[in-house]
Amino acid sequence: MAENGEEKLLAVARHIAKTLGHNESMADDILQIFSTFDGRFSREKLSEDQQPSDDGSGGVAALERALNSLDSQISRFVASDQPIWSDPADSAAFLDAIDELVNLTREWSHASSEKPISACLSRADDMMQQAMFRIEEEFRSLMDHGAESFPVSHRFDESEEEDDVDDGEEDYDDSQIPVAQPLTDYDLIIDALSSATINDLHEITKRMLAAGFGKSCSHVYSGSRREFLEESMSRLGLQKLSIEDVHKMQWQELEDEIDRWIKAANVALRILFPSERRLCDRVFFGFSSAADLSFMEVCRGSTIQLLNFADAVAIGSRSPERLFKVLDVFETMRDLMVEFESVFSDQFCVVLRNEAVTIWKRLGEAVRGIFMELENLIRRDPAKAAVPGGGLHPITRYVMNYLRAACRSRQTLEQVFEESNGVPSKDSTLLTVQMSWIMELLESNLEVKSKVYKDPALSYVFLMNNGRYIVQKVRDGELGVLLGEDWIRKHNAKVKQYQMSYQRSSWNKMIGLLKLDNAAVGMNGLGKAMKEKLKEFNMQFDEVCKAHSTWVVFDEQMREELRTSLARLLLPAYGNFIARFQNLGDIGKNADRYIKYGVEDIEARVNDLFNGTSTARK
């Protein structure tokens, strides 16, 4: 026990001399001062310079004595049941013993071809193995138990002293770890280990790398931190899902999972990974390659988990309703590209960085693929049953509301289509070309559907309704910005043309009945001709009003415009006709027997047109 105490005392003295001495000469002076105070601190016992003598046997003896001394010290620490780092003096002595063993091995390595020296160096290797096994345990213990609190600070400023970090923050239990809380501010850094623990880990790291055990050190470090990251991702609600698992999900379930993924990806790339990068750089300070490798091993699993999910979304179904969530994933990946570039900037992480870029581009391909599927949906929509009353077709509502919603992400869609291989026209972007093409497909589809109506007038009402709806949806949003004012004017003119076509097909023949050719009929036959025309007019007017009152014009303004137009066309002609009929002598005296409607009655019937049935108005 006394011998162990003396060895411990000598180790502390050597550590003090080594720490205070800025150079070899100063360290020797400090050792000399120690020797004058106590015989146990003799220069021979304290000296670390065990150089081989000119006599080979004397050198071997000196080497063996040094190894015996170090073996005694290292064996005591290796066999200890207590954590070495629970006592600062023990940890300092253990590190010093390792330093001495490393230095001793290096000093004698040039003579390894000599058999006695080779045997001693082999023994030194065995001692180093034992020391490394034990220091690895200590490293693991510090990693696992050093994170007693999780202080959160604003993003680390290199101009600040690391010692300014407050190590006295209140401890959090498992349910209070900040990474599990909803976040709106990502300008955070998580210090999972205290500065003191980080310093201890750094001292161990230096010894393990100096002894050639860098891979073991990196393995222990990355294993511990990887578990922390995986737990953090789990607390954020992110499940470990394979691509097949994602593809088997119901859409509602996948939507919820995408929302969780977006939050997890933002926290991981903006908080967790930068925090791990900082911690790794501090623990492996001075060993950039080891730091880069360790960081990659820490973050690789969580990064692949995030990227695999995004990839599963990208290569999944191209159903049109998925567009908006796919856009959410695309935008998240796009916005995090800066973080991918900065956090994964080293040589070991280049694969992760490149994979992130590849998946981001694949998500853009998925968005373009969804628009292609929308085109196919429009083409395949059958022209079977006619919409009652010539009203809005469901495909018109669906496509226009879909495009309006999509154009809320116009800037993102512009980016997606500009990254395709298409060539934009001189005055249009690729997104404009895409939207114009979809509108053309929709209009062509509606033209085919209009042919289902047996009455040409009703087909024009159908085209009028759907055309008006399309123009309104375009004009009132981002879609109008894309397609432009010229497009809107042209399609307004097209709707007007449908109105004129409706009037010609339904009312022009009726207006023709109210016209007379005096020269042709003569005065004697005028009364008879007018009676026949009035009778035919009444019959046609009744039929048209009965049918057209069940038709629907959904837009109130267009409905009033159409009624007004018909009234201006019909009322003057009808008023002149019956006025002339009433002035035809004897026949005019009995005109009320033939005149079924007054002018006011005609106007009232016209104002009842296009109200539609309850079915047609839906």
- Per residue in 119-140, pLDDT tens? 777 787 888 888 899 999 999 9
Where in 164-279 does DSSP place strands (E)? 188-190
> Does one domain contain both 398 and 366?
no
Q: Can you give the residue range of the structural domain that contains 351? A: 214-374
Domain boundary among the residues 374, 400, 416 is at 374
What does the pLDDT read at residue 43?
45
In the chain, the number of structural domains is: 3
What does the pLDDT read at residue 401?
95
Instruction: Collect all residues with Cβ–Cβ distance below 8 Å to 335 and sequence separation of at least 6.
Output: none
Residue 221 domain flag: yes
pTM of the model: 0.76
Answer for the pair 596, 538: CB distance below 8 angstroms, yes or no.
yes
Q: Computed from CA positions of residues 459, 460, 466, 467, in that sequence, does the dihedral angle turn out positive or negative?
A: positive
pLDDT above 90 covers a percentage of the chain that reads: 57
- Dmax (CA) of the chain: 159
Residue/partner pairs of 126-132 with CB below 8 Å, 24 or more apart: 127/67, 127/70, 127/71, 127/74, 127/101, 128/98, 128/101, 128/102, 128/211, 130/74, 130/75, 130/78, 131/74, 131/77, 131/78, 131/94, 131/97, 131/98, 131/101, 131/211, 132/208, 132/211, 132/213, 132/216
> Does one domain contain both 539 and 483?
no
> Does one domain contain both 433 and 534?
no
Q: Computed from CA positions of residues 292, 298, 301, 305, in that sequence, does the dihedral angle turn out positive or negative?
A: negative
Whole-angstrom distance, CA of residue 200 vs CA of residue 254: 45
Instruction: Collect all residues with Cβ–Cβ distance below 8 Å to 217 and sequence separation of at least 6.
Output: 136, 139, 204, 205, 208, 209, 290
Residue 413 domain flag: yes
Eight-state DSSP code of residue 464: H
Residue 16 domain flag: no
> Does one domain contain both 254 and 320?
yes
For helices 350-380 and 410-418, what crossing angle results, to 10°?
Answer: 100
What does the pLDDT read at residue 513?
87
Name the more confident of 457 and 425.
457
> Does one domain contain both 322 and 357?
yes
pLDDT band (50, 70, 90) for residue 616 = low
Distance of CA 609 to the CA centre of its chain: 52
pLDDT band (50, 70, 90) for residue 71 = confident
* 484 pLDDT more than 50: yes
Whole-angstrom distance, CA of residue 46 vs CA of residue 29: 12
pLDDT band (50, 70, 90) for residue 514 = confident
3-class secondary-structure state, position 249: coil
Integer CA distances (angstroms), 414 to 439, 447, 535, 537, in order? 17, 29, 62, 57
Eight-state DSSP code of residue 611: B
Integer CA distances (angstroms), 607 to 103, 206, 563, 614, in order? 106, 93, 6, 18
How many alpha carbons fall within 13 Å on the CB side of residue 202?
A: 17
What does the pLDDT read at residue 593?
79
Residue 431 domain flag: yes
Answer for the pair 553, 617: CB distance below 8 angstroms, yes or no.
no
Domain boundary among the residues 456, 476, 504 is at 504
pLDDT digits (tens, 9 = 90+) for 185-242: 555 667 788 999 999 999 999 999 999 999 999 999 999 999 999 999 999 999 899 9
Residue 189: what are its φ and ψ, rounded to 5°?
-135, 135
Answer for the pair 550, 389: CB distance below 8 angstroms, yes or no.
yes
Distance of CA 274 to the CA centre of its chain: 18
Residue 294 domain flag: yes
Residue 121 domain flag: no
What does the pLDDT read at residue 61?
78
Eight-state DSSP code of residue 127: H
Identity of the highest mean pLDDT range in 32-36, 494-498, 524-528: 494-498
> Does one domain contain both 548 and 480?
no
Answer for the pair 439, 483: CB distance below 8 angstroms, yes or no.
yes
pLDDT digits (tens, 9 = 90+) for 334-375: 999 999 999 999 999 999 999 999 999 999 999 999 999 999
> Does one domain contain both 407 and 463?
yes
Integer CA distances (angstroms), 545 to 173, 354, 390, 505, 613, in order? 78, 69, 15, 14, 14
pLDDT band (50, 70, 90) for residue 153 = very low
Mean pLDDT in residue range 432-455: 95
Residue 539 domain flag: yes
Residue 533 domain flag: yes
Residue 40: what are its φ and ψ, rounded to 5°?
-65, -25
**Residue 124, number of CB atoms within 10 A of its CB:** 21
> Does one domain contain both 485 and 581?
no
Q: Tokens standing for 588?
A: 């005019």
pLDDT band (50, 70, 90) for residue 35 = low
> Does one domain contain both 594 and 511?
yes
> Does one domain contain both 229 and 369?
yes
Whole-angstrom distance, CA of residue 289 vs CA of residue 348: 9
For helices 410-418 and 323-335, what crossing angle results, to 10°?
Answer: 80
Q: Which helix (H) or strand (E) holds 24?
A: helix 24-37
Looking up residue 535, the CATH number of its domain turns out to be 1.20.1280.170
